[in-house]
Each structure stands twice: as C-alpha cells, then as structure tokens.
Amino acid sequence: MVKARKILLIIILSLVGVVVTLGSIAGGYFLFAQGSKTERAQNVPKEHEIIYIDGEKYIAKDTVNYLVVGIDSTGEMKASNGYNNTALNDLICLVSFNLTDSSYTIIPISRDTMVEVDVLGLSGKVIGSKYTQIDYAHTVGDGLDMSFRNTCRAASKVLMGVDIERYIGINMTTVPLLNDFLDGVTITLEEDLTVIDPTWEEGATITLTGDTCLKYLRARMEVGDGTQISRMRRQQVYMEELVRKARTNDYTFSDILDALHIVNNYVCMDVTYMDMADILNYVKTFHYNGIKQIKGYTQKNKGLIEFIPYEEDLKELVISTFYDKAPEE
C-alpha cells in the first residue's frame, strides 16, 4: 500500500514539482476553457486551432494542459452543498505537454493575479464576473469540481484563453507525508529565513522533512519582502528538486491503477486512468523545459496585494509556449 500511494504522489509531484496534499477523485470529464479574450475559430480541432493576437494569425501547438491547484484548507475535501465555500487557491501551476516536440513546461500563476473570476448562481451556472485575485476563484463553487473548474476558467483568462483540459485539486494536509515518502527534499537557501528557523541562514543547505516543508513553502508575510513573488521563488527551488527526484523513479501502469484505487478518497481531479498513464510516460520521456514565470508587478489596493502581469511579456510567454505563427497565405 505504501508503495502504491508513493507512486501516485510522485506522479502528481512530477506535474507541479510541489504538491501539498491528497483529496478525492472527481471525474474523467473534458474541461473546456471559457471567457477567452481572443478571437477563436469555431469547431476546429485543437491542433489546427486558429487564434488572432494583435491582428496576427497563430495556430495552436498540439499540447495537453493540466492545471494543478492547491487550496489552503486542510482535512478531507467535502462539498459545501452550495455555490460558495471558505477555501482559497494557494498554489496554481499549469503543466503543458507539447506532443509535437515531446517536451513539457510548468507555468506557475501567482494567487494574487488579478483576473475576471466567474460568479456562479444557485444553479451553478455563470451569472457574472468579479475582477479580483485568482485565489478567490475556488471560493466560488461547491469546493470540489465546480470550484476547480472555475479556477481553470480563471487561469485560462490569465493565459489569454489557452485551453485547459484537465485539473488536479489538492489541499495542505499531507506535506509532511509527501516529504517523508520522498525521504525529504534538500535545497540551498537563497535568502535568510531565520525568522522561521534560527538555523535557516542564507546559503545554508537544508533537508526539508515533515512540517518544516510546509513552513518553507507557505511562509510569506513574516519573511523577505512579504510578497507572493518571493514565496513563489522559494516554491520554484523546491519544484525543481522534486521534478528531478520524480523523473528518476520507474513505475508501471499497473502501479498507477493500484495507487488510484487506494487513494481515490483523497484526490479531487478531472483525470482518467489513461490520462495518468500518459502523464507517467510524458514525465519519464519528454524533455523538461523548466519553469516559465509570468512577469509582472505588485501593488497594494485596499489592503490587498495585487499582481498584474506585464501584457507584452505575457503575450510572448503564451505565444512561445502554445502557438506557432500561421504561414502567410
């Protein structure tokens, strides 16, 4: 049982580098991003999808995109029996697999990113939107599938309408478990974190185990400049080491099925068994392009820290990752 649970955890870790819990399986449904601010040709297969940005014509690359979302709640994930809940998004990462050149890229999205978040009515249907931080997108919905899909739509809007086919939803409960399964994660500190632990001086090499991992990943206001950008840099260091460790493991599809049956009450995700097999293959065989950060600036507004992406840098990131310029006719 321990082996099977470790397999699933490391497969998920391979997607984001930093996964902070388990939850309950919800699905096997295709997810269609909504609310794109770009013009999109209708009824066209994705690999031939046409999009226009600043009047230029682009064709979508053949990619499969997974959104991994960590929420700030603890304990077993349960539906709120309504269209709102109390949890917020804490970690958002898009993992994009390029099926043409056999590579994959990770794009973290700051929880402070400002975007039009869909507002849902009593029936669960979209009735409007609110310009706010993307962390609020999970609070809208039942706390499970409805909320994670709402976050997918919000993330799609941040990325100029990129299709997001699947999601994996997690919470903060099992950071100690994950680190124990991986025998800890060793990193070198890039900043002074002695306010968290007196031994965590800048330049020190430490192995994160148990609760210390959660302290390292989640500390924000009391360290550095107190911004999400600073915390995301620490998370990136952690991601890179986790991806390196995950890629060295050898698992089979049978192992994945065993793992899914064992932990099916602990992960909320829109991923099928075959998707997991594909992910396993991609992570083991595709070239890892690394992490692409969304550049931008922060500002304070009514007591909140808002992250605003630089428009031109965002366009460049989206185009280079998801599109090719269409040939002239």
Please answer whether residues 247 and 191 qualify as being in contact, where contact means their C-beta atoms are separated by less than 8 angstroms: no
Which tens digits make up the pLDDT trace of 319-328? 999 999 988 7
pLDDT (0 to 100) of residue 171: 79
**Mean pLDDT for the stretch of residues 7-19:** 47
pTM recorded for the entire structure: 0.76
Beta strands in 239-303, from DSSP E residues, in sequence order = 268-269, 287-291, 296-301
Whether 38 shows a pLDDT value over 70: the answer reads no
Give dist(CA 294, CA 313) in Å, integer. Answer: 8
Which tens digits make up the pLDDT trace of 166-225? 998 887 765 666 666 667 888 898 888 888 889 999 999 999 887 787 788 777 666 665
Nearest to 241 by CA among 294, 169, 189, 168: 189
Order of all β-strands in the sheet with 50-53: 39-40, 50-53, 56-60, 323-325
Give me the domains of the chain, ranges plus CATH numbers. Answer: 2-325 (3.40.630.190)
